[in-house]
Amino acid sequence: MRPEPRLIEVRKNVLKQNDVVARGLRDRFHAAGVFVVSLVSSPGSGKTAFLEKTLTLLRPDYRVAALVGDLATENDAQRLARSQAPVKQITTGTLCHLEAAMVNSALEEERWDLNRLDFLFIENVGNLVCPSSYDLGEDLRLVLISVTEGEDKPLKYPTIFNSADIAIVTKLDLAEAVEFNWDAACKNIQAVRPGMPVFKLSAKTGEGMQEYLKFLATRLQELHQPAAI
Amino acid sequence: MHELSIAMSIVELAEEELDRRGGQITAVHLKLGALSGVVKEALLSCYEMACENTPLQGSRLIIDEVSVVIYCPNCQAQRPLSSLQLFCCSECNTPCSEIVQGKELEVVALEIQECAPNPA
């Protein structure tokens, strides 16, 4: 007669492999003094236009580079390359999110000298669900919504808002046309992530970009000179 | 939908344990937080797929769903979260951003059938 199955305690994080790689990346980034920002949003919310503007405006003062994830095509990398910043496309095939190992191999392939970078941006695949589970070793996760998506996106995707550090509301130039309710959007963001900093801006006109770039600059400074305790 | 890669990671993790301990895995017990970003039903169907042609084929995935608990700085106490759409204290309505539990995605135990001793 077969014995009863035994229950063996294990207690292991399912994503431990990703977490180990992410921790390694974070250590490398910090040792090199590069501040790493990842971007998540729905498809079509204007992530690439926003990142292109960010890179273009930062480039005169900072050394910047970007990794950009997509299921297919190199289109985003080509668009971002117009900013003159070094850009590397990561094509994920059918995978709906980036994982730390993909960031790691992209960096190995490109052989960028991290010591000579101030900011590294990682644009995730357009998806407000799956990227939330994967740490990429970033310092800051930015979730982007556009005014054309409506004010209730945060309520529909609380998990990704909860995994992010700051929110950007973009395409502000279209706000009037779509009767976007700024107060309602802010209220919804604060409902799912109390205290989250929110920036409203237009990557197209540049309105509101300076405030957000100042925020990034401050965070970079803090990385280089940790506040005295 | 990333549940298939999650399911494959679970199978991989269980296989590692199996290599160490031997026997046959009949069930995997998983803690799944409401904020883990993983959907239970999708994970269950992906699990079966991920187990195919592995030593875990035919095993069950037993999911223990973990609800969200937050810390209220005003009450200085842990509180259950009543809605994922509103992170505030269920007693005093203070907004709460500190999550105490609910992000779990963890294999907690395996049911292992020891190999039957050779009758000869």
CA distance A144 to chain B (A): 18
∠A36-A37-A42 over CA atoms, to 5°?
150
CA distance A58 to chain B (A): 31
Q: Do B30 and A14 touch (CB under 8 A)?
A: yes
Q: Where are the domains of chain A?
A: 17-220
What angle separates helix B3-21 from helix B40-51, to the nearest 10 degrees? 50
Q: Quick one: pLDDT at residue B102?
A: 96
Q: Which residues of B touch A162 (CB under 8 A)?
A: 35, 87, 99
pLDDT above 70: percentage of residues in chain A: 98
**pLDDT value at B116 more than 70:** no
Alpha carbon A38 to its chain's center? 2
**pLDDT value at B120 more than 60:** no
pLDDT band (50, 70, 90) for residue A74: confident
Q: Quick one: pLDDT at residue A106?
A: 95
| Helices and strands (DSSP H and E) totals, chain A | 8, 8
Q: Quick one: pLDDT at residue A71?
A: 79
**Quick one: average pLDDT of B40-46?**
95
Q: Quick one: pLDDT at residue A1?
A: 64
Output the domain CATH number for residue B108: 3.30.2320.80
Q: Quick one: pLDDT at residue A218?
A: 97
Q: Is residue B62 assigned to a domain?
A: yes
Q: Which amino acid is at A6?
A: R
Q: Quick one: pLDDT at residue B111?
A: 96
Digit-coded pLDDT (tens) for A63-72: 999 999 987 8
Q: Which of A7, A191, A195 lies closest to B85 in CB terms?
A: A191
Q: Do B26 and A130 touch (CB under 8 A)?
A: no
pLDDT band (50, 70, 90) for residue A129: confident
Average model confidence (pLDDT) for chain A? Answer: 93
Residues within 8 A of A (CB atoms), B 74-93 only: 84-88
As a residue count, chain A comes to 229
> What are the backbone angles phi and psi of residue B26, rounded to the nearest 5°?
-100, -25
Q: Quick one: pLDDT at residue A80?
A: 87
Q: Which residues of A touch B26 (CB under 8 A)?
A: 5
Digit-coded pLDDT (tens) for A2-61: 678 899 999 999 999 999 999 999 999 999 999 999 999 999 999 999 999 999 999 999
Residue A32, CA distances (Å) to A26, A64, A115, B39 in order: 10, 13, 5, 37
Q: How many domains does chain B have?
A: 1
Contact B59/A at CB under 8 A: no
Q: Quick one: pLDDT at residue A213?
A: 98
Q: Is residue B120 assigned to a domain?
A: no
Q: Quick one: pLDDT at residue B119?
A: 56
Question: A177 is written with which tokens?
Answer: 């046309």
Q: Quick one: pLDDT at residue A93?
A: 82
Cα A143 to Cα B35: distance, rounded to the nearest angstrom: 16
Q: Quick one: pLDDT at residue A5?
A: 87
Q: Quick one: pLDDT at residue A94?
A: 78
Digit-coded pLDDT (tens) for B49-105: 999 999 999 999 999 999 999 999 999 999 999 999 999 999 999 999 999 999 999
Return the number of CB contacts < 8 Å for A and B: 106
Q: Which of A9, A95, A194 lies closest to B87 in CB terms?
A: A194
State which residues form the domain around B94: 3-113
pTM to 2 decimals?
0.91
**Quick one: average pLDDT of A130-153?**
95
What is A17-220's CATH number?
3.40.50.300
Decide if A103 contacts A125 (C-beta within 8 A). no
- DSSP conformation letters of A80-143: HHTTTS-EEEEE-TT-SS--HHHHHHHHHHHT--GGG-SEEEEEPPS-SSGGGG---S-SEEEE
Specify the higher pLDDT residue, A146 or A133.
A146
**pLDDT value at A161 more than 80:** yes
Q: Is residue B19 assigned to a domain?
A: yes
Q: Which residues of A touch B29 (CB under 8 A)?
A: 7
Q: Is residue B57 assigned to a domain?
A: yes
**Quick one: average pLDDT of A129-147?**
95
Average model confidence (pLDDT) for chain B? Answer: 93
> What are the backbone angles phi and psi of residue B55, rounded to the nearest 5°?
-60, -10
**Quick one: average pLDDT of B41-45?**
95
| 3-state SS track over B33-95 | ECCCCCCHHHHHHHHHHHHCCCCCCCCEEEEEEECCEEEECCCCEEEECCECCECECCCCCCE
What interface predicted TM-score (ipTM) does this complex get?
Answer: 0.85
Q: Quick one: pLDDT at residue A67?
A: 95
Q: Is residue B31 assigned to a domain?
A: yes
Q: Do B114 and A6 touch (CB under 8 A)?
A: yes
